[in-house]
Amino acid sequence: MKNPVLLVSCDDQRGLIHSITGVLLQAGANIISNQEFVDPESRRFFMRTEFEDAQGLERLDETIRAVLPARAEMRVQQPVRRRVAVMVSKEHHCLADILVRHAYEELPADLIAIIGNHDVLRPLAKKFNVPFFLAASSDVSQETHEAELVRILAPLAPELLVLAKYMRILSPAFIKRWPDRILNIHHSFLPAFAGAKPYHQAFQRGVKVIGATAHFVTNELDSGPIIVQQVIPVDHSHTPQSLIQAGRDVEQMVLSRALRLLLEDRIFLCGNRTIIFD
């Protein structure tokens, strides 16, 4: 994202697009792209507008708010790199994909830390010169483990947390610190096969497709708003182990795409659903 982006969410009413784009025109802005959607159930209006050459950006927020209805949410997001911390356990594939994309400037982010509840992936982090921190979870309580996570994360001030196969359930108290800013990859096509061992569950059901789901983390396990899903075909010859192997490729693609959408401000929340302007 090379230009400022205007993000608007508000109750729908006539003339919104005309009013908003009129303000941008008066500011001398050239609109590069514009996407909008009205949710038919909530009658909520969503709009993402990328623009260039605007004057007086410091006053644009105030001017646009003046033409919006009550309870409107809006901001002008400048093209900045977000601070991202990745949390991992033992599996490397999702982390490796993010590290490669980050190294080749495919993600508008600064990868500030990798935090593992095991030390297995420290060598991988070292290869990409990203600081690795150990917050051991074995033989300690959840409260102790999460206190250590907070101790590590607090001075780093990440804007987003990415759970790249971090195989621990986070408490509501921890999630509350980063509301709508924790991204998880689930190795299943949710809502099917939530919880542990989804590939084994899929094998027992004889599924013909398997997939992966990237979603926001909420207090309810594997039930946060879905961002990206993808599936691949499988058949009767697959074992649980071959399903796991096939699923890894899908998982890393889904997680990286969801992260890009977040970093480029293409996601709006609408209750427990997402509105995505890709």
Tell me if residue 222 is catalytic. Answer: yes
Q: What residue spans of the chain are helical by DSSP H? A: 16-26, 57-65, 93-103, 122-127, 142-156, 172-177, 198-205, 240-263
In contact, 228 and 249? CB cutoff 8 Å? no
In contact, 93 and 248? CB cutoff 8 Å? yes
Give burial (CB, 10 Å; 0-12/13-18/19+) of 170: buried
In contact, 84 and 158? CB cutoff 8 Å? yes
Angle at 263 between CA 262 and CA 267, to 5 degrees: 30
Q: Which of the residues 97, 222, 235, 249 is marked catalytic? A: 222
d(CA 202, CA 185) in angstroms, rounded, equals 17
- Residues marked active site are found at 222
